[in-house]
Structure 1
């Protein structure tokens, strides 16, 4: 295996000012064959990147919470068919907001939101910050995407908003993982931080993962301004305990810690029974993928990818990126990314702190960004080329 081109590409991204710094890792059969470190841990202070750097992983928190939920399913304490309102009664009053001519028309739910809907993002919850629509506008006005809400305030505001789709009707990426995390808190009587520590991190030896950077000196920092938009960058504060444990975006981790989690999913050892790992990492959208594709890429996890229970899953040999049917991936807003190809025994991660602000400010341009998905596509391509 020769990783010279991958290394040259990543160093070039730093030299061209596209990313401040990075830690990258490629493992095969559980053995690390490449770990690259370059650029700056803190570009403002000129501090060099470190192998053990801590990164805000944003949406890569979601697979943790999904796997955590499946530990309760494995023990018979939770069912995928359970209605969310059974654990969070405030969601018993939900309605759907049909978007008609720029207006929101409310209609009653045809079925309750289930745990299964939360896991595969078919609950109808959305995000206000990504893309634009009348319902998304209501989410923005209510401020439910904010990080500084308490658990109680978050649930109160979100449960008063309409769903964008009927439960089970469409893949709609949104706040489902946050709701799932708070549901697990209600089920167990413990905080999400405690649950992840006891059921995921400790069994796998993930000592640096959680909702707080306990060693701020190791925390990777972004540029002060986005190189594409010129806008100031502000990432979630993780130096202190958060106001709520946000299962959709609040995590902090290292590349080596996250590799332990991915290897547990790939091998079926150390966290969940192999059949439950397979359940999590196989497609659960079925015909909803084709329906989403007709609406537009906003309604899919990516070209050629369906969705499992917390990760995007490759449906066949065709796709924009190299890979194999059944490979799975996810990413985080601040620049972190992973993919796993079980057929090759392959796990690969790229961690940086370089959010693509176009995805919020001008979502119609985000797919054409010099950064974001293009960085991940190039990384994946060069990993396969190195094998």
Structure 2
């Protein structure tokens, strides 16, 4: 009997240890837990690559100058950069950093990989070729954190990784990296983990966790990327979806290419109880120019018996949906007439300037540092206003 009890107690202890190990070794969750972070050098294929490399190995990337160290050593801060920031990416003029057509052939020859690639990229399997041809080949100029994907057992895996500055990638028309050319893996923005990281892999010279950047995709479509020519540190304008054959030199840009891209503040978390602002439809082009009117309100005084209600202020009717310009002024009520107090004469309210709504700033281009010149050519920023087809990211 005692031996039986000892066996039962030993089995229970083994089960308890196994459950504890499973809980510690499983996927990390929560802000304070540690997550694995794969460090991937420029040419390393990494775990479970989708395809062979399609990167141009002849380029010698020149990374951007490192961002300043964080004031508190050991604290990993997130440095967010807009996908439209000049100098975020680099490239060689008239040379593509990736062979897109080779990438299409690799995926087209394997139906399982093509389907898994489409699932990870969030596209239809039949549109993989057109999706890849719509991306722009560039190289990273800063160590960049992304959500990476591998291919294992017929489906896509997902893991967090940091890509070394100089890595060849394909970016979309919102400035976000979408494919890593050294392995053909689809990429997405990184997760929002705020805890510590468990670095996997050997760090390269110059790697610092507090210098890693995260690319924030723009909410508008980018027609042109302003990138640095990695062969001579000059500026290039590259059309999105182009392989570099239509590159245009930009000697008019006076930004120092050795300075790191401008970082943005983190986006505030969305409150579930806060509804997004509802935008009013634009007025009809047939609307007349609104004429400013002044509406005067006052505290009502007791009306005499049998008196009629006050009439509405005169004015022409405005078509529905057209804007109006109206200013409301509160006047002090007049005293009641009496035999000993003469009635005051008619008074005319002073004209009041109509208030004009201020226009809110728009666009995702970050403001440049105060020590940088900002004389970009007029109308050539590379950003176009959002359209119904391009606003959903």
What TM-score, normalized by structure 1, do the two folds share? 0.22
Question: Which structure has the highest strand share of the two?
Answer: 2
What TM-score, normalized by structure 2, do the two folds share? 0.22
The structure with more radius of gyration:
2
Question: Which structure has the highest helix share of the two?
Answer: 1
